[in-house]
Structure 1
Amino acid sequence: MTLQDPAISNRNDDTPASFSTSVFLLGAISLGGFVGVMSPASSATLSRGIDITLLLMIFLLFFELRLSSLFSAVTNIRFLAMAWSANFLIIPIVGLCIASLFFSDHPVLFAGLMIYFLAPCTDWFLGFARLAKGDTELGATLIPVNIITQLLLFPFWLWLFANGAGLADLSPMSTSLLQWFLVPMIAAQGARCAAERLLPMQQRVAVMSWVSRGLNFVLAALIFQIFAMHIGDIAGQLDVAAMVAAAVLFFFIATFAVGEVLSRLGELKYPQRALLSMTMAARNGPLMLALTAIAVPDQPLILAVIVAAMLVEIPLLTALYQLLLKIRPER
């Protein structure tokens, strides 16, 4: 579900497994719901392993992160500033308007949609950008900037959209960030550094491929556990799935329009234009799912909204890269 660094990911085939990923996540949802309904005792046992699943997922997410790309970012400061402003200044306003339109009377669902909207993707957007003939080398410099910014902003967004509604207690947030993110990040980056120094290229490619595939299974396991634990709460709100899908569709349309305006104002060439569209559209659902499961574990509907949005996002990204190819200037 995630991608390695561009030099490695470019060796893969040219089609992200969007359909199979959707089926995979739907299978995790269905199996989790089935276990939760048929065997509540089993789901309670499975739920005790959710902390291990979260830690493993966070470790794998940070293992794929190339912090060295931060040094390359200074050479692309103009595009970086444009993309950062779009993701962290403009999109929060766009997301607020859309979430207010759909869930203004339901603070839990509103918070879930906003948390999903506010975090730009740090992995698979590069694969879709590559399919759209976007500038993936430039895109790689966005990854560490995006993930560091969203981690720093997450407590603020949670306070703004969840704490005010009485959905979250932020008092232990600093300890949680240290325990759940700083320690796994240091461990993951240490392991990645060791792999890069000690393993030949072929074995490094294999390790990154295993990590990417493993992350798919760990994410599915987390979704399975969430739905097994909370199917009773979630089942009563299944009707909101269509509204979440419509909201995410509106989000994609709005971000594409804003991206086109910014590209014209910034006189971006097509590869940078395609990259900007992808980074504005793709969201970091897996990390937001992990963060939210830690911060507000007793709010399953927020988690369900994030999962539902992730399922809609995958086919929409596929449609977006095909649209970008159609409007790509002829060479």
Structure 2
Amino acid sequence: MLATISNINKLGINGISLLMLFSILAGAMIGYISPANGETFGNLIDPTLFVMITFLLFGVRFDEILGAFKQRRLLSVSLIANFVCVPLIGYSIAMLLLPDYPLIMVGMMIYFMSPCTDWFLGFTRIAEGNVSMGSALIPINMLVQLLLYPFYLFIFTSNHVQIEPHLIISTLLQWFLLPLIIALVSRYGLRRLISAAQVQTVSDQVSRYLPVLLSLLVAAIFASNITVLLTHSSVFIWLLLSVMIFFILTFVLSELLSRAFRFPHADHALLTITIAARNAPLMLAVTMVALPGQPLIYAAIVIGMLLEFPHLTLLTRLLRRRAHPIPIT
């Protein structure tokens, strides 16, 4: 996961947003100019998904879970905020602003309900937050959101898309069990051959390819579905407004919780970032597997991610300024 920090620094703190924007524009242009090439590009979706899921799982250190239980209060507050409060906030916003666009609303709900398990740690470090606890939260957040995904989907979106929870569960097992086995066997197999530090170096190198894989996936989605997306272009202003309101309300939530529990700066920063950052790459992958052929849902998740990085940038600057206030002279 430290590779994420390296990627943020290397690309510039908003570099991934720019990369995603370029991928959207490039994919849309390919699909619009040549629909046949767009369909061909769309054939890359499944293999790219599989590799990206495997790489995501390879970077997760499940052995760090026990570390989270050393700070039970922060762990409890984080879990309740991320998996109860935040989904309810997101659902309220989606129902208020997007009731006439059910598929976009479903995409927004999926984006809102899952905390980040990757790049939030880089922003936490920049904000001088509790990185060790953040590392321990990564596997916990990933496991909890994958377990809750079919139930959240059924509870929040069953009126808008056809949901078969048992089929979603079996599909997720099929698509995630094999990548998980490959990731775990590879990681722990390497530990028998090379040192732990070298294994971490390999993990860092693997993680550096995640933004590239994600951008390829986004370009393929827009290339193969641009016609459908253009017919619904008017809704995207409401989508952007929904994301902005979501970020404002979740910031208020993190402030209230941090003050109520009197968290020190490091814990306050971690809670603020983990509530703000969403798990767009994993949720995009999960949703494309669980709900195939729904480009409007996928587009909503991608658009949410575009605004996320500028928002996280503002949060880290605010948190750093609080940690190091400018003295009055």
| TM-score normalised by structure 1 residue count | 0.92
What stretches of structure 1 of length at least 5 have no aligned partner? none
| Corresponding residue of 2:160 | 165
Matched, 1:241 2:236: yes
| Corresponding residue of 2:215 | 220
Matched, 1:17 2:8: no
What stretches of structure 2 of length at least 5 have no aligned partner? none
Deviates more, 1:151-160 or 1:118-127: 151-160
Count of residues paired in the alignment: 326
Q: CA contact under 8 A between 2:258 and 2:268: conserved in structure 1?
A: yes
Match runs of 1:74-223 below 5 Å: 74-200=69-195, 203-223=198-218
The separation in 2 between residues aligned to 1:16 and 1:274, in whole angstroms, is 23
User: Match for 1:118: what amino acid?
Assistant: M
Matched, 1:325 2:315: no
| Corresponding residue of 2:290 | 295
User: Match for 2:36: what amino acid?
Assistant: A
| Candidates 295, 305, 312, aligned match of 1:310 | 305
The separation in 2 between residues aligned to 1:206 and 1:69, in whole angstroms, is 17
Matched, 1:252 2:237: no
Q: Secondary structure at the match of 1:62?
A: helix
* CA 1:309–1:170: 2 relative to 1, 3 Å: same
Deviates more, 1:167-176 or 1:177-186: 167-176
User: Match for 2:237: what amino acid?
Assistant: A
Q: Secondary structure at the match of 2:306?
A: helix
User: Match for 1:222: what amino acid?
Assistant: L
Q: CA contact under 8 A between 2:7 and 2:208: conserved in structure 1?
A: no
* CA 1:9–1:202: 2 relative to 1, 3 Å: farther
| Corresponding residue of 1:32 | 27
User: Match for 2:39: what amino acid?
Assistant: A
The separation in 1 between residues aligned to 2:184 and 2:71, in whole angstroms, is 24
* CA 1:141–1:203: 2 relative to 1, 3 Å: closer
User: Match for 1:66: what amino acid?
Assistant: R
Q: Secondary structure at the match of 2:216?
A: helix
The separation in 2 between residues aligned to 1:15 and 1:274, in whole angstroms, is 23
Q: Secondary structure at the match of 2:292?
A: coil
Q: How far is 1:35 from its partner? A: 1.5
